[in-house]
Each structure stands twice: as C-alpha cells, then as structure tokens.
C-alpha cells in the first residue's frame, strides 16, 4: 500500500511539474528576439559607450539568450543625431543618447537631460524615479512611438576647454563653441556662436580652429579625447550640465511584443546602467583630473562670477519665453522646478553642508 501511494504521488508530482513547465514563460517560450541598438556615441567610448555595451551583455545574459542585441555606434548604421527618428520608425528597437539632442522635436525634451543651473545627478534621479518625471517623460514621447528611460549620468560636468582665457562676459562674444541644447542658446544670447556636433568630431574641430572652445563631459572623457593637446584653459563648473541624465529609448511596439519577464529584464538592465554609469564617472573623473593637474601647461580655473551671473540671468529669461509659448514645456518645467525647490532644502543641509565643511578653504 505504501509503495502504491508513493508511486501515485510521484506520478501526480510529475504531472504537476509538466503543467508548471507549460505555463512558465521562460521554459515554454523558446522564441529569440533579435534587436538592433543605435547610439550617439563613438565606438567603445569610455563611460558612455562602454556602459551601453555592458547593458547589452547584461540583457542577453539575464534573458538566457532570448534577447540578442546588435549594437551600432554613431555613424555605423545612422548618424548620431538621427537615433531618435530611427528608433521611432522601427529601424532599430533600442537607442541611447541624450534627450536634449531632440529639442527640435520638442523644447521640453531637454528638461529630462538637464537645464542650466538645474538639478545635480542625485536630485535628477530622484525626480525621475520618485518625483513624477517618468509619467511626463512617457507623455512627451508617446506621439513618437517611443518609451524613454533614464539610462546613465555623468555627474556634474566641466565647463569646457578654451583656447583663450575667459575673464569677462565680453570674452564670450564671437566665441565659436561646441555646446548643445539649452546651454548653446545661453551662449548665443551672450554673443557666442554655439556649434552642435557629435563627440567624435570635437578634437579635430578644436585642432583645426573650426571652433575656439568645447564642452564635452569631464576629465575622464576629455582626457581620452586628448582635449588637453589642443586647448589649455579648462574651466569649471559645468553650469550647463550639473548632472545630466542620458536616456535609453525603446520602440514601443517592439517593447510590447516582449513577454512580461523579458520586459522586466530590459527595464532592470536599464536601471542598473543608470546607477553604475554614475558610479564609474565619479571614480574615473577623479583619477583623470589628478593626471590633468600634473600637466603644467593646463590651467584649471572657475568661470568668473560675472560670466556665471550673466549665464544664469539669460537661462531664466529663455525659460520664461519658452513657457509662454509652449504649454507642455511649462507643464514639465513646473514639475521640475517644484521638485528642485523641495530637493534643494534637503541638499542644503545634507550634501552641501557636508561638502562645505570638507572644503573650508
């Protein structure tokens, strides 16, 4: 009798296992999704490009090979600034870049990357994840058949490399500078000439005199690009990008075609990239700055107060102008500015107070 019961239980258990396997999406589904991903970065570019490579590998590994992604750097499949349209149309399922590159689609897009004199990296992540930004982000990209996600942050950037010193706001007039987005418009209104170009073109443009100055990211990437070889005045802070969020955009139809478990894997991999990229930049910028400081021909210095005040004044004027004519920008900026006001109170008595005591000189 005992033996029969055990045999029956075994058979029932085997049947239950078979039913479980048939309803388990990981076991039952053998379909492989072959995706393409395009980016705005040069091949294997430190920090930005390499983080995306790591993300792609993580997705394939976590999915057990059910999602395979072929990665294309800027110019390999489409030019850097065509990533948005290409993913929107379904030419690729994934894209990586920065929302302020698409301000031609909507002025409001740049808010999700950064605004001059805006949020730092930690504050911006707080807004994205817990401050209401994600819902607004999705609303903005909905007409373009895209799902956007924050996907990386460089932390506070440097102000840029200049061939000549900037002592007063007058020195900005006529200055040809590689600087995108909102920061470029601030420069223009103060007499400068903003130039938009992908990162891979900056060194040559500075070297040949096509531009007089360029902001890129910070010591880690600037050193890799050899910026110190073509300009020797290195200014801070990155008033235009105090903690810019990069983005991963996904073709909405492609994402919705995935089963729930694969959707979760993609989202978790993106969030992981958002966290680890910032950690890498904090570490790599510090060690790279140490190298640059040893170069006697390089002057590392802050922008004059006069210049910073002029840039901030212009920033506020531009925001008011856009708000008056763009209801969606106004709606998103209100969320951004309300969050900034709240977050600033905490930042003031936490991070700022701590750093102020660390750097008493």
At 21 the pLDDT is 37
* The domains spanning 33-153+243-283 and 157-240+297-325 adopt the same CATH topology: yes
Which pTM does this prediction carry?
A: 0.87
Radius of gyration from C-alpha coordinates of the chain = 24
Q: How far apart are CA 196 and CA 207, in angstroms?
A: 16
At 198 the pLDDT is 83
Q: How far apart are CA 86 and CA 92, in angstroms?
A: 6
Cβ atoms of residues 158 and 219 within 8 Å:
yes
Q: Which CATH superfamily is domain 157-240+297-325 in?
A: Periplasmic binding protein-like II (3.40.190.10)
Q: How far apart are CA 170 and CA 168, in angstroms?
A: 5
| Six token digits for residue 187 | 């420069």
DSSP conformational letter for 31: -
Render 225-267 in DSSP notation, one character per residue: HTGGGT--EEEE--TT-SSPEEEEEEEHHHHHTS-HHHHHHHH
According to CATH, the topology of domain 33-153+243-283 is D-Maltodextrin-Binding Protein; domain 2 (3.40.190)
At 196 the pLDDT is 87
Helix pair 351-358, 327-349: axis angle to 10 deg: 50
At 29 the pLDDT is 62
The three-point CA angle 40-311-216 to 5° equals: 25
Please give the chain's pLDDT, 361 residues, in tens. 444 444 444 334 434 433 333 345 444 367 999 999 999 998 888 999 999 999 999 999 999 999 999 999 999 999 999 999 999 999 999 999 999 999 999 999 999 999 999 999 999 999 999 999 999 999 999 999 999 999 999 999 999 999 999 999 999 999 999 998 899 999 999 999 999 888 889 999 999 999 999 999 999 999 999 999 999 999 999 999 999 999 999 999 999 999 999 999 999 999 999 999 999 999 999 999 999 999 999 999 999 999 999 999 999 999 999 999 999 999 999 999 999 999 999 999 999 999 999 987 6
Kindly list the domain boundaries of the chain, sorted by start residue: 33-153+243-283, 157-240+297-325
Which is nearest to 70 in space by CA: 97, 101, 91? 91
């Amino acid at each position: 009798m005992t033996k029969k019961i055990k045999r029956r239980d075994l058979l029932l258990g085997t049947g239950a296992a078979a039913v479980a396997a048939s309803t388990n999406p990981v076991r039952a589904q053998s379909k492989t999704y072959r995706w393409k991903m395009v980016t705005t970065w040069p091949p294997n570019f430190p920090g930005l490009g390499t983080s995306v490579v790591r993300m792609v590998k993580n997705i394939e590994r976590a999915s057990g090979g059910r999602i395979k992604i072929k990665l294309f750097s800027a110019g390999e499949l489409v030019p850097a600034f065509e990533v948005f349209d290409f993913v929107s149309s379904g030419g690729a399922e994934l894209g990586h870049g920065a929302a302020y590159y698409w301000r031609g689609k909507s002025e409001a897009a740049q808010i999700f990357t950064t605004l001059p004199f805006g949020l730092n990296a930690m504050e911006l992540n707080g807004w994205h994840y817990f401050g209401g930004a994600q819902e607004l982000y999705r609303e903005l990209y909905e007409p373009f058949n895209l799902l956007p996600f924050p996907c990386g942050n460089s932390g506070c950037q440097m102000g840029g490399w200049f061939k000549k010193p900037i002592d007063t706001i007058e020195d900005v007039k006529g200055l040809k500078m590689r600087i995108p987005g909102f920061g470029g418009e601030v420069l223009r209104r103060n007499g400068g000439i903003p130039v938009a170009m992908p990162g891979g073109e900056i060194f040559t443009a500075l070297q040949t005199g096509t531009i007089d100055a360029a902001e890129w990211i910070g010591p880690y990437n600037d050193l890799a690009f050899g910026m110190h070889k073509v300009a020797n005045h290195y200014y801070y802070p990155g008033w235009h990008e105090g903690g810019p969020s990069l983005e991963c955009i996904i073709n909405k139809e492609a994402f919705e075609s995935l089963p729930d478990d694969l959707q979760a894997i993609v989202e978790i991999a993106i969030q992981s990239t958002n966290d680890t990229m910032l950690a890498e930049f904090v570490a790599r910028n510090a060690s790279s700055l140490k190298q640059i400081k040893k170069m006697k021909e390089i002057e590392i210095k802050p922008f004059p107060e006069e210049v910073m005040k002029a840039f901030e004044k212009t920033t506020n004027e531009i925001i008011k102008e856009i708000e008056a004519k763009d209801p969606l920008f106004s709606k998103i900026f209100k969320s951004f500015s309300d969050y900034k006001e709240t977050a600033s109170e905490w930042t003031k008595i936490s991070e700022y107070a701590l750093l102020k005591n660390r750097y008493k000189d």
